[in-house]
Amino acid sequence: MSMSVRLAKKTGFCFGVKRAVRMAEEALMKKKPIYSLGSIIHNKQVVRGLSKKGLKVIGSINNIKKGVLVISSHGLSPKKQSSIVKRGIDIIDTTCPFVLNAQKIARRQAGEGYSVVIVGDARHPEVKALVDFAAKNVYVVKDKAQAKKLRLDSSDKVSVISQTTQSKGNFSDVVKAIAAKRPKELVVFNTICEDADSRQKDAAKLSREVDLMIVVGGRNSANTKRLLDVCRANSPEAYLIETESEIERNWLERANAIGITSGASTPDWMVEKVMKKINAKLHNKRSKKS
Nearer to ligand SF4, 17 or 40 (CB): 17
Alpha helix locations (H) across 112-184?
125-134, 144-148, 168-179
- Among all residues, whose Cβ is closest to ligand SF4? 16
Please state, in angstroms and rounded to a whole number, the distance separating the CA atoms of residues 71 and 86: 16
Q: By three-state DSSP, how is residue 23 classified?
A: helix
Nearer to ligand SF4, 21 or 274 (CB): 21
x/- letters, 257..286, toward ligand SF4 (CB under 6 A): -------x----------------------
CB of 12 to ligand SF4, least distance (A): 11
38 sits in the region (left: phi over 0; alpha: psi -120 to 50; else beta) called left
One-letter identity of residue 255: A
CB of 128 to ligand SF4, least distance (A): 15
183 counts as binding ligand SF4 under rule CB under 6 A: no
126 is annotated as an active-site residue: yes
The whole-angstrom distance between residue 272's C-alpha and the CA centroid of its chain comes to: 21
CB 289 within 8 A of CB 29: no
Stretch that binds ligand SF4, among 24-32, 52-60, 92-100, 132-140 (CB under 6 A): 92-100
Stretch that binds ligand SF4, among 91-99, 140-148, 207-215, 250-258 (CB under 6 A): 91-99
Instruction: Select the residue interacting with ligand SF4 from 96, 174, 206, 213 (CB under 6 A).
Output: 96
CB of 98 to ligand SF4, least distance (A): 4
Torsion of CA 177, 178, 182, 187, to 10 degrees: -130
On the CB side of 236, CA atoms within 13 Å amount to 1
**From the candidates 25, 26, 112, 126, which is the catalytic residue?**
126
CB of 266 to ligand SF4, least distance (A): 11
127 counts as binding ligand SF4 under rule CB under 6 A: no
One-letter identity of residue 233: A
Instruction: Select the residue interacting with ligand SF4 from 5, 8, 12, 14 (CB under 6 A).
Output: 14
Total site size for ligand SF4, rule CB under 6 A: 15
Q: Per residue in 68-85, is it b (16+ CB within 10 Å) or e — as a string? A: bbbbbbbbbbeebbeebe
* Subset of residues 217 to 236 that bind ligand SF4, contact rule: CB under 6 A: 223
What are the start-end ranges of the E strands in the chain?
4-7, 34-37, 55-58, 68-71, 90-93, 115-119, 138-141, 157-162, 185-188, 212-216, 238-241, 257-262
Instruction: Select the residue interacting with ligand SF4 from 16, 75, 125, 259 (CB under 6 A).
Output: 16
Instruction: Select the residue interacting with ligand SF4 from 40, 68, 99, 177 (CB under 6 A).
Output: 99
Instruction: Select the residue interacting with ligand SF4 from 11, 34, 98, 128 (CB under 6 A).
Output: 98
Angle of the 222-232 helix axis to the 194-209 helix axis, nearest 10: 30
Instruction: Select the residue interacting with ligand SF4 from 11, 43, 72, 73 (CB under 6 A).
Output: 73
196 counts as binding ligand SF4 under rule CB under 6 A: yes
End-to-end CA distance of the chain: 12
Computed on alpha carbons and rounded to an integer, the radius of gyration of the chain in Å comes to 21
Residues of the shown chain interacting with ligand SF4 in the complex, contacts defined by CB under 6 A: 14-17, 73, 96, 98-99, 164-165, 193, 195-196, 223, 264
Q: Which residues are catalytic?
A: 126
